[in-house]
Structure 1
Amino acid sequence: MKKYGALLAAIVGGLLLAIWATTPPSARPADAPETLFSASRAMEDVRTIAAEPHPTGSAQNAEVRAYIIARLQSLGMEVTTTTGLVPERGLDKFGHWSGTRPDSLTFTNIIGVLPGKDRTLPAVAIMSHHDTVWASPGAPDDTAGVAATMETIRAINAQGGAERDIVAIITDAEELGLNGARQFFAENPLRERIGAVINLEARGGGGRTTLFQTSSDNGEAVAAYAAAVDRPAGSSLSAFVYEVLPNDTDLTPALEGPYTAYNLAFIGRSGLYHSPKATPDNLDQGALQDMGDQTLQLTRALASSDAHPGKTPNATFFDVFGLFTMAYGAIAGWVLLIATMALHAGAYLRREKGDNPLKALGASLGVIVGGGILLYVFNLVSGAGGEANYYDRLAAIPRLEVQALLLSIAVLAATSPWWAGRNYSVVGLVLALAAHFFAPTTSYLIVWPLLIAGLAGVAVSRVSDAVATPIKIVAGAVIIGFLLQYGHQLMQGVGPDYPSLVALIAALALPVLGLLVPEAKARPALGLAGICLLTAFVIALWVRLDPVADTVAAYASLK
């Protein structure tokens, strides 16, 4: 057991880093300093607005709208409203929800303007929507965004206001097709006075608030976020994945304009998405605190800047365990890639005499291909497929994450006799090179684990065993924590549909695992793999055979 001590220490360290990175902060109390965001204060608005469902056109929606208007006016904002008719497609959607298709529906946007000290400067807009889907109180989606907007403006007032105007765009009929946002960015004259837009959303009831989308040519925009937000979350990988998927938010019509734009959302506790149980009591106040902290810090920075971020080439960016944002351009990306390739070439040349590099190659392919197949098959066993209830699958994500982790451990254990003691990855370098050519803003996920493992390999080859062990543990903890953090985000985002992507993340751990485990025996490794496979199979059956979750949207068909 002693020879696995460094591995166990690295795993524990990685778990702690990943937990820290993916856990939202605690909610500040109602008596927190006035200039800070307090989720406890914001919850007063959440409890009023999300007391019951309030879809577009309902009497409850009108009551919510009146409350929001009064609250914005109490904050010193100039408030106006605009109305429009929900198009036919939105009426069809409402009919699907309720069972009765209305002949017409009117939506109403609420626009509040907090005057700045220099009203000639382009304004900063914070956008959210006040409507809900049928039968959901919508405490997360999007009452959290509305409440975060109002608490942000209150805190800015407490600090003496802002240099620029701050606009609260609280749209209606987002759930019916982004109707309110489309109207605002197509028709409202105020759109010409806005320079930057922050949109707030939720797909679930908790978790870290992440920056998952920006305007194009985002180099300066990302730099502004990195400088302003002291506990960031988000990545250019999330932005890439979101652009590939057929998803939209109220920010979509804004992205057609010249604005510097940011999309912030939390997607944890995903079973609460559009759920009748999406109540104020079930909303994670830490997630609201996280959303509010980031919104307030970014709004203050944009509202006080001499000029809003301009258009510069897209940046590769990611948060490092929520401690800071790493961001760099294409040239730096190439430098990192070349350095990684050189380090792994050196590790290959330093390999022991008689070492067969085909074993390392086989391990990488075994984890990626074999693991990908296992993840796909077990996902089918768990009930994935055409008849699956989308909202029930969202509710199952925590169990699907455990299943994916167990399958990753199984395939890593099964291939351990091939990768133990080998600190290089040809397959990893090929994937990094391909990612950098075809999707450069995603390549960090591959490059950084390989780079750190390569640096650790060089370091341990030049020091004594007593010094080498802590180097291995630190490198292992950082890489394992990094991969767990982004594996968790991947599973939350697309796990029920594309869990096979986790196999790639597992393969990125091979070089550092090769440092931590100098040798492995087949029999115990296969025993561990078998235990993990059996447990994963039990979880898959549990997900498949359990009743439909009681959190599913009221309009969703049963599985």
Structure 2
Amino acid sequence: MRKYLGLLAAVSIALILAIVGTTPPSPRDETAPQTDFSAARAMVDVRQVAAAPHVTGSAENARVRAYLVERLRALGLDTGTTASPLGEQGAARLRQWRGDEMAAPPVENIFARLGGSDPSLPAVLLMAHYDSVWGSAGASDDAAGVAAILEIVRAVKAKGALPRDLLVLFTDAEELGLEGAKYFFANNSNRRRVGAIINLEARGGGGRTTLFQTSAQNGEAMRLYHRAVDRPGASSLAAFVYSVLPNDTDLTPALSGDYTAYNFAFIGRPGLYHSPDATPENLDQGALQDMGAQGLDLTWALLSAETLPGKAADLTFFDMFGLFLISYPAWAGWLLIAAAALLVIDQIRAAETRKTMARGSAATLLVILLGAGLLYLFNLLSGADGAINYYDRLAATTRLEVQALLICAAMLVLALAWLGGQRASLIGIILAIVVQLFAPTAAYIIVIPLLLGGLAAVAKRRVGGGGGIALAVLFAAISLGFLFQNSHALMQGVGPAMPMVAALLAALALPPLTILAPPVSGRAGNIIAAFLLIAALALALWVRLDPVAETVAVYSEFRMPR
């Protein structure tokens, strides 16, 4: 048993770190200081806004609008509404939801201003949409964002005089094609007063809130975020992934302007996206606290800044387990790759034979190629091989994530049993170089584990003894925890459609596992891998044969385009 202690310690610490990094903070109650964000105070507004579905043009939408206007005025903001026509695409979607040919209603935005000491300075705009989809109360999407903004405004007022204006925009018809935001940023004269924008969104019902998109050339913007936010949740990898997916939020129409912009969302509990079960009772109040706390920190920093952030070269950024943010210029990724390469070269020099190096590279390729192939195949077996209900697949995300974990674990066991794991492989460095060339702000997902794995190997070999083992366990735990945290985020984001990405992250787990894992016989490895794959197959069949989830959007039977 003693030979497994190092491995068990590293995996246990890694799981703890990953849980810390993926768990939102505890919600603050009504007794929280007036200058702090309180999810309990914000929930009062969530319950009002998300009392029932409130689609653009509906009586419930009008009730919510009247409530929000009253709330903003009670907070001391100059508040008004503007009406604009609903476009044909949005009107067609609304008619399909309703099942009738009623005339398209107007789109009615809510705009408010809290004056600062110098109104000539560019203002800070907080933005969220107050409409919902058909059949969903929209507690998370986007009553949570609306309520968070109201609580942020209250807390900002409690902090004292504002150096610059704070603006609030609650858009209508976001769910019908960003209609309210498009009109504001194309036609409303108040757009010229805006210097910085914070947009709050959700795709799910909980989990950590992540800064997943910024305006272009975000160097100064991210440095301010880095200084301001107490418990960060941010990822330039998420920003890259989002940029290549066909998704939009209300921030999209603003990004063509010269604004400093930040986009936040939580995507946990994905089965609640546009769901009839997206009610206030089912909203993760920790996610609301996370969104509001980050939003308040950033809002106050922007309001207090002598000048708002300008344009500067993009940064690579990511949070380490939600405890602190790491950010650096994208070009510095080449320096980190060079450092990781030196560590790999050190391992190559210590390798006994070229055969060892070849086996290490083969192990890496086995996990990536065979793992990706099996992930793709099992995803098809789980029901992704024909017409699918998008929301039903989201509801199965947790099971699909466990399925991917079982497949990746099987590949790692086979790599350790057949090829002795990864020793002195340059495959990871080659992959890091490729990603650094084409997506430099996303390359950290490969470089950081390579660095930590290399440090674990050096510590065990060069320090030696109990101290070397302890350092190796520490570096391995951080590396594995980092991979667990980011794998979870990626699987929630793209797992139901593209689980193959998990194979690459699994291969990056080979260096620390090889350092700490005792030898695995071929027979034992085959048995363990077979058991894991059978369990993954059972999960795939469970998802495939399960009835459509009760949480799916009620309009999804119409197969509306997203």
**TM-score normalised to the size of structure 1?**
0.98
Contact 2:357 2:423 in 1 (8 A): no
2:160 counterpart residue number = 160
Q: What is the CA–CA distance in structure 2 between the aligned matches of 1:100 and 1:59, rounded to whole Å?
A: 16
Structure-to-structure mapping, 1:37-52, within 5 angstroms = 37-52=37-52
**Quick check: 2:364–2:422 contact (8 Å CA) kept in 1?**
no
Partner residue, 1:302: 302
Contact 2:361 2:422 in 1 (8 A): no
Instruction: Indicate the residue corresponding to 2:24 in structure 1.
Output: 24
For 1:172 and 1:56, locate their aligned partners in 2 and report how far apart those are by CA, in whole Å. Answer: 7
- 1:113, 1:167 within 8 Å by CA — same for their partners in 2? yes
Structure 1 Cα separation of the partners of residues 523 and 3 of structure 2? 17
Alignment match, 2:471: 471
* 2:493 equivalent in structure 1: 493
- Preserved contact between residue 50 and residue 139 of structure 1 (Cα < 8 Å): yes
Equivalent in the alignment of 1:111: 111
Match of 1:72 in 2: 72
Q: 1:492 to 1:244 in 2, by over 3 A?
A: same
Show the 5 A alignment for 1:100-499.
Answer: 100-353=100-353, 355-418=355-418, 420=420, 422-499=422-499
User: 2:424 is matched by which residue type in structure 1?
Assistant: Y
| CA distance, structure 1, for counterparts of residue 518 and residue 531 of structure 2 | 23
**Aligned twin of 2:6:** 6
Report the secondary structure of 1:557's partner residue.
helix
SS of equivalent to 2:463: coil
Q: 2: CA distance between counterparts of 1:533 and 1:161?
A: 61
What is the CA–CA distance in structure 2 between the aligned matches of 1:472 and 1:558, rounded to whole Å?
Answer: 54
In 1, Cα distance between equivalents of 2:182 and 2:86? 11
Return the offset for 1:298: 0.3
Give the Å deviation of 1:421.
Answer: 6.5
Deviations 1:500-537 (A, max 9, x none): 01000000111111211253211112211111111111
User: Is residue 362–residue 418 contact of structure 1 (8 Å, CA) maintained in 2?
Assistant: no
Q: Cα distance, 1:118 vs. partner? A: 1.3
C-alpha distance in structure 2 between counterparts of 1:547 and 1:72, whole Å: 44
Contact 2:37 2:293 in 1 (8 A): yes
Q: Which residue in 2 is equivalent to 1:15?
A: 15
Instruction: Quickly say closer, same or farther: Cα 1:129–1:351, change in 2 above 3 A.
Output: same
Q: Using a 3 Å threshold, how does the CA distance of structure 1 residues 237 and 419 change in structure 2: closer, same or farther?
A: farther
Between 415-424 and 342-351, report the one with greater CA deviation: 415-424
Q: Aligned to 2:338, what secondary structure does the other structure show? A: helix
* Matched residue type, 2:490: L
Equivalent position amino acid for 2:544 in 1:
R
More deviation in 93-102 or 356-365?
A: 93-102
SS in 1 for 2:462: coil
The share of aligned pairs that are identical, in percent, is: 55
Measured against aligned partners, the alpha-carbon deviations of 1:343-375 in whole angstroms (never above 9, x if no partner) come to 101111111347521111110110000000110
The change in CA–CA distance for 1:75 and 1:419 in structure 2 (over 3 A counts) is farther
Alignment RMSD, CA only? 1.3
Deviations 1:427-484 (A, max 9, x none): 1011000011111011100001001111222222222321122112111110111001
2:523 is matched with: 523
Q: Following the alignment from structure 1 to structure 2, what is the Cα–Cα distance between the partners of residues 119 and 188?
A: 18
SS at match of 2:146: helix
Question: Is 1:360–1:419's contact at 8 Å kept on the other side of the alignment?
Answer: yes
Kindly indicate whether the alpha-carbon contact (under 8 Å) linking 2:35 and 2:156 is maintained by their aligned counterparts in 1.
yes
Structure 2 SS opposite 1:462:
helix
Q: Is the deviation greater in 21-30 or in 512-521?
A: 512-521
Q: Please state how far the C-alpha of 1:422 moved relative to its aligned partner.
A: 4.4
Preserved contact between residue 356 and residue 423 of structure 2 (Cα < 8 Å): no
User: What is the alpha-carbon distance in structure 2 between the residues aligned to residue 367 and residue 525 of structure 1?
Assistant: 14
Q: What residue identity is the alignment partner of 2:340?
A: T
Matched to 2:87, the amino acid is P
Change (3 A) 1:518 1:422: farther
| Partners of 2:2 and 2:27 in 1: CA distance | 42
Distance 2:21 2:72 in 1: 34
Q: Say if 1:558 and 1:14 are closer, same or farther in 2 by CA, change over 3 A.
A: farther
- The SS at the match of 2:448 is helix
Q: Does the aligned pair in 1 maintain the 2:351–2:424 contact within 8 Å? A: no
Change (3 A) 1:418 1:523: closer
Distance 1:229 1:40 in 2: 21
For the 8 Å contact 1:421–1:518, the answer to whether it is kept is no
Paired residues of 2:357 and 2:425 also in contact (CA < 8 A): no
Alpha-carbon distance in structure 1 between the residues aligned to 2:510 and 2:74: 57
| 1:188 alignment partner AA | N
Bigger drift between 331-340 and 315-324 goes to 331-340
Distance of 2:473 and 2:119 partners within structure 1 = 55
SS at 2:554 equivalent:
coil
SS at match of 1:319: strand
Shift, 1:417, TM fit: 2.9
> Matches of 2:166 and 2:557 in 1, distance apart?
42
Q: CA deviation at 1:94?
A: 1.1
1:258-299: CA deviations, max 9, x gaps?
000000000011111111111000000000000000000000
Distance 1:422 1:393, change over 3 A: closer
- Which amino acid in the other structure matches residue 127 of structure 1? M
Give the aligned residue type for 2:393: R
Please state whether the residue corresponding to 2:351 is helix, strand or coil. Answer: coil
The reply on whether 1:556 has 2:534 as its aligned counterpart is no
**In the aligned structure 1, how far is the partner of 2:340 from the partner of 2:536?**
34
What's the offset of the Cα at 1:538?
0.7
- Contact 2:455–2:472 (CA under 8 A) maintained in structure 1: no
**Paired letter, 2:161:** G
TM-aligned CA distance change 1:520 to 1:465, over 3 Å: farther
Query: Letter of the aligned partner of 1:136 in structure 2?
Result: S
Shift of 1:325: 1.0
For 1:421 and 1:525, how far apart are their aligned partners in 2?
12
Quick one: which amino acid aligns to residue 86 of structure 1? Answer: L
Q: Confirm or deny: 8 A CA contact 1:80 1:112 kept in the other structure.
A: yes
For 1:421 and 1:483, the matched residues in 2 are separated by 17
- Distance in 2 separating the partners of 1:485 and 1:102: 48
Contact 2:236 2:317 in 1 (8 A): yes
| In structure 1, distance between residues paired with 2:173 and 2:538 | 42
In the TM superposition, structure 1's runs of 4+ consecutive aligned residues that sit over 6 Å from their partners are none
